[in-house]
Structure 1
Amino acid sequence: MMNMHAMPQQPPQNTQPNQPPQQQLSQHLDNITKVRSLIGPLRDGLSATLKTAAQTLQQNSLIDTGSQKGVDLPLPRFDKNLEEFYSVCDQIELHLKTSIKCISQQASAQRYLPLAVSVTRTDALGTPDGSGTLTYPQFLATANAQVAFAKEVHDTLVAAAQNISPTE
């Protein structure tokens, strides 16, 4: 018996790699909305799991005491209900982790690159235009420069650590 609420239909999402902060915020809110929509199936799954466990325990108790000789009615499978419950829990965990990552990326973007990125403009002419936005190629160049600088700092620290450590 498959729970139809375990895998809700989701609208197609914009999956551009570098979204402006406003789109990231809406994606974060979308993940929170998905978590909220999964609370009902989570509650139903827990209820079904506990109900199945209680029925199975009661039937096994009746068989053990001798009141009942065998299984009259097939009961829903406890392991299947438990698996559906865990599936919903995993979906909620995934959406919450994605929300945390979105918030972290948005905070980093605001801290290290406070300008918005215009993905519609691809011309790489000079510095940012008067609107306070970067073109996508300018954004890539800035990100590559930041990565190169971080690698250079890392290499310098490793070299300094090797110079400090005593050689045998």
Structure 2
Amino acid sequence: MNVVGMGMPPQQPPQPTPQPQQQQPPQSPMDNISKIKTLIGPLREALSNTIKTAAQTLNQNSQVDIGSQRGVDQQIPRFDKNLEEFYSLCDQIEQNLKTSIKCLSQQESAQRYLNLLVAPTKSESIGIPDNTLSYPQYLATVNAQIAFTKEIHDTLVAAAQNISPSE
């Protein structure tokens, strides 16, 4: 084994050449839809493994029940672990879908209530068109909208308390 292990390191130096390619994905993080797409393959595999394990377990238990098999001859993978892996992948997909929906909702709200472009960087507004907000201006606008909404809410709550009889 040591000979094989010694033979592996010379083969590994050619493998670091793909590592610069691996450095590129962290620079551009995957969006939620891309994450979902990468989870579909493992989800299919997990579902297949879960069904196969269930079938093997059911077959083995039926063989024991009818008496053609005395005990467990071969150890099959545990059904509950495969099912848990499947549900885990489903939960990850669900969270990414919910996040995508929330992002789309926020984008629609931003377009409806603030139909100006926002510069994606926090830097100075050099070369940015006049109808574009800088990021600090955008944050100030959003904070003002939140404060105004809270003020309206508090006013409505106070008015509702004044109208309703206090018993």
TM range (shorter): 0.7 to 0.9
The residue number in structure 1 matching 2:119 is: 118
How far apart in 2 are the matches of 1:53 and 1:44? 14
Tell me the TM-score normalised to structure 2 length.
0.76
SS in 1 for 2:133: strand
1:33 to 2:70 alignment: no
1:59-97 C-alpha deviation (Å, 9 max, x unpaired): 111111111111111111111111111111111101111
Structure 2 counterparts to residues 1-168 of structure 1, below 5 A = 11-12=25-26, 30-123=31-124, 130-168=129-167
Please identify runs of 4+ aligned residues in structure 1 that moved more than 6 A: none
Who wins on radius of gyration, i.e. which is larger? Answer: 2
SS in 2 for 1:12: helix
Distance 1:148 1:59, change over 3 A: same
1:107-156 C-alpha deviation (Å, 9 max, x unpaired): 011111111222435459xxxx7531112221122112111111110111
Tell me the TM-score normalised to structure 1 length.
0.75
Q: Percent identity?
A: 70
How far apart in 2 are the matches of 1:112 and 1:84? 42
How far apart in 2 are the matches of 1:13 and 1:162? 53
Distance 1:14 1:106, change over 3 A: farther
The answer as to whether partners of 1:123 and 1:137 remain within 8 angstroms in 2 is no
Over the aligned positions, Cα root-mean-square deviation in angstroms equals 2.2
| Alpha-carbon distance, 1:31 to partner | 1.8
Structure with the higher fraction of residues in helix conformation = 2
How far apart in 1 are the matches of 2:124 and 2:118? 12
The answer as to whether partners of 1:35 and 1:95 remain within 8 angstroms in 2 is yes
